[in-house]
């Protein structure tokens, strides 16, 4: 069994920032991730809607960390954590003993007891998810062009996005844009501008975490794009024929799930208290109660600050990663750790080209200026310079022409028809 000073599970914003801070001080680190890349999840919906290619928002973890000789990386999946023995077990059968452990495994889509819906309504958490949604969308238009049944054409041209948080709003807006602008003149038999896009939300407004004024503005922008926003609406059934919402059936072949998140199953084996979503309830220093050497950060952690749990945002994870790395680097004992304090740098969501909303404490912004700010901030957060350049040029080209260059279907005709 290999012993390591610090093990980090997950190469997202939290895990990567922690690794870099420890690597700069030449502390021994083993980073375990089930993929070989760091994924910029805030732009994942743009891969799903053919605006960007996967390589634009993903960077090899080994390439990012190559300058830090004290960091080792393995592509493997952590399947169990033994708190008492301080051992991480992986899917490949390996076991690693640690002094400190940082768990940054993120979350998975929550289907609220209906896991059977997942096959019809994929979530958006990985590149595979994004490529599945993209291919389903593009394949639907191709199959509609071949179909002689108007009912089938209507079902193939109907998209239902469930959940009106930032991901759902961004997905719905992007699908409306690609159908009404990018694909408008690409087909001879069907008219993509007739595509129906539904955004379904259980509460009374979209982007409920934003101020009401911005929420209303986002809804208006969506409706101008042709999105049908269904508020106070709940999903009752999802199957291969479509979705039932408030006793109303919508025939569709394209359903995207953006309605909620649940803790990664790995967290259940920690033996730590979990919140209703399955995230670990951590102490003020992001550690487990009774085990100061194990930290849970990012989306996997339920961290309460000023009476509310911090949202699952990239800046939260990044700041927690840096904070925990500092504790480990300085070997700060439990009793002398200042609690983590999140510095809120604002939240934002984009609705489509030139449309976005931004909130920073009491300051709000909407429309084109907010969209420019959204573009700048997201370019800044991309890890590699190459990604920033490619994404910037892709956005500029798309803005000027309305085209989306990543419209590839890898399946052949025969597979598309089955």
Q: Is 6 exposed, middle or buried (0-12, 13-18, 19+ CB in 10 A)?
A: buried
Whether residues 130 and 244 share a domain: the answer is yes
99, 170, 223, 359: which is the annotated catalytic residue?
Answer: 170
pTM for the model stands at: 0.91
Asked if residues 120 and 255 have their Cβ atoms less than 8 Å apart, the reply is yes
Whether residues 154 and 169 share a domain: the answer is yes
Cα separation values, 393 from 111, 156, 243, 280, 384, Å: 37, 32, 38, 40, 15
How much is the pLDDT for 412? 67
Asked if 283 is an active-site residue, the reply is no
Last residue of some domain: 307, 336, 365? 336
Whether residues 215 and 244 share a domain: the answer is yes
Residue 21 has pLDDT above 80, yes or no: yes
DSSP state string for 126-187: SHHHHHHHHHHHHHHHHHHHH---HHHHHHHTEEEEE--SHHHHHHHHHHHHIIIIISTTS-
pLDDT digits over 3-20, tens only? 999 999 999 999 999 999
Q: In the predicted model, what is the mean pLDDT of residues 276-284? A: 95
pLDDT digits over 358-391, tens only? 999 889 999 999 999 999 888 887 877 667 777 8
Helix axes 166-177, 212-224, angle to 10 degrees: 20
Asked if residues 316 and 298 have their Cβ atoms less than 8 Å apart, the reply is yes
Q: Kindly report the CATH number assigned to the domain that includes residue 402.
A: 3.50.50.100
How much is the pLDDT for 380? 81
Is 22 among the domain residues? yes
How much is the pLDDT for 418? 45
* Largest Cα–Cα separation, the chain: 71
How much is the pLDDT for 181? 87
Is 39 among the domain residues? no
**Reported confidence tier of residue 414, pLDDT bands at 50, 70, 90:** low
Beta bridge partners of 340: none
**Reported confidence tier of residue 239, pLDDT bands at 50, 70, 90:** very high
Is 341 among the domain residues? no
Last residue of some domain: 279, 305, 336? 336
Whether residues 373 and 319 share a domain: the answer is no
pLDDT digits over 362-371, tens only? 899 999 999 9
Q: In the predicted model, what is the mean pLDDT of residues 288-294? A: 94
pLDDT digits over 34-93, tens only? 999 999 999 999 999 998 899 899 999 999 999 999 999 999 999 999 999 999 999 999
Last residue of some domain: 304, 336, 368? 336
**Reported confidence tier of residue 400, pLDDT bands at 50, 70, 90:** low
Whether residues 250 and 265 share a domain: the answer is no
| pLDDT > 90 in the chain, percent | 82
Is 158 among the domain residues? yes
Residue 342 has pLDDT above 60, yes or no: yes
Whether residues 158 and 293 share a domain: the answer is no
CA 98 to centroid of chain Cα atoms: 29
Whether residues 208 and 310 share a domain: the answer is no
Distance (Å, rounded) from C-alpha 4 to C-alpha 74? 13
Is 63 among the domain residues? no
Residue identified by tokens 């008492």 is 84
Distance (Å, rounded) from C-alpha 31 to C-alpha 9? 6
pLDDT digits over 174-194, tens only? 999 999 988 988 999 999 999
What's the chain's average pLDDT?
A: 92
**Reported confidence tier of residue 197, pLDDT bands at 50, 70, 90:** very high
Q: Kindly report the CATH number assigned to the domain that includes residue 312.
A: 3.50.50.60
**Reported confidence tier of residue 271, pLDDT bands at 50, 70, 90:** confident
How much is the pLDDT for 413? 56
| pLDDT > 70 in the chain, percent | 96
How much is the pLDDT for 399? 66
- Tokens standing for 160? 């239902």
What is the helix, strand, coil percentage profile of the chain, to 5?
40, 25, 35
SS3 219: helix
- Tokens standing for 196? 């129906």
SS3 114: coil
Whether residues 297 and 208 share a domain: the answer is no
Whether residues 315 and 384 share a domain: the answer is no
**Reported confidence tier of residue 135, pLDDT bands at 50, 70, 90:** very high
Residue 250 has pLDDT above 80, yes or no: yes
Whether residues 149 and 281 share a domain: the answer is no
Whether residues 271 and 330 share a domain: the answer is yes
Domain count, the chain: 2
Which residue range is the domain that position 140 belongs to? 115-259+353-417
């Amino acid at each position: 069994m290999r012993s390591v000073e610090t093990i980090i599970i997950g190469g997202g914003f939290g895990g990567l920032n922690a690794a870099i801070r420890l690597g700069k001080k030449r502390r021994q680190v083993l980073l375990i991730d089930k993929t070989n890349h760091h994924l910029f999840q805030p732009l994942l919906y743009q891969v799903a809607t053919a605006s960007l290619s996967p390589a634009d928002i993903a960077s090899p973890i080994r390439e990012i960390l190559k300058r830090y000789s004290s960091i080792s990386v393995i592509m493997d999946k952590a399947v169990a954590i033994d708190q008492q023995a301080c051992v991480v077990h992986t899917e490949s059968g390996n076991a690693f003993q640690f002094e400190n452990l940082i768990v940054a495994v993120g979350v998975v889509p929550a289907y609220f007891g209906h896991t059977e819906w997942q096959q019809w309504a994929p979530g958006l958490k990985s590149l595979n998810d994004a490529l599945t949604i993209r291919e389903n969308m593009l394949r639907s238009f191709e199959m509609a062009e071949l179909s002689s049944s108007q009912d089938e054409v209507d079902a193939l041209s109907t998209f239902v996005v469930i959940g009106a948080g930032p991901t759902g709003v961004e997905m719905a807006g992007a699908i409306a844009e690609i159908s009404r602008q990018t694909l408008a003149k690409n087909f001879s038999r069907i008219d993509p501008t007739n595509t129906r896009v539904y955004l379904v939300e259980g509460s009374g407004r979209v982007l409920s975490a934003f101020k009401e004024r911005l929420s209303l503005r986002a809804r208006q922008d969506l409706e101008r794009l042709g999105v049908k926003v269904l508020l106070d609406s709940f999903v009752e059934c999802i199957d291969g024929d479509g979705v039932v919402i408030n006793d109303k059936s919508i025939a569709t072949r394209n359903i995207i799930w953006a309605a909620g998140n649940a803790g990664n199953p790995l967290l259940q084996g920690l033996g730590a208290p979990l919140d209703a979503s399955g995230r670990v309830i951590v102490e003020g220093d992001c550690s487990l109660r009774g085990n100061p050497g194990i930290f849970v950060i990012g989306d996997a952690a339920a961290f309460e600050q000023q009476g509310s749990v911090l949202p699952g945002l990239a800046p939260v994870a990044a700041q927690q990663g840096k904070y925990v790395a500092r504790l480990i680097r300085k070997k700060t004992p439990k009793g002398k750790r200042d609690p983590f304090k999140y510095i809120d740098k604002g939240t934002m969501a984009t609705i489509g080209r030139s449309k976005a909303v931004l909130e920073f404490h009491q300051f709000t912004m909407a429309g084109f200026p907010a969209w420019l700010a959204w573009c700048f901030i997201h370019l800044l957060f991309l890890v590699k310079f190459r990604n920033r350049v490619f994404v910037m040029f892709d956005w500029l080209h798309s803005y000027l022409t309305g085209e989306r260059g990543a419209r590839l279907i890898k399946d052949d005709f025969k597979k598309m028809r089955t």
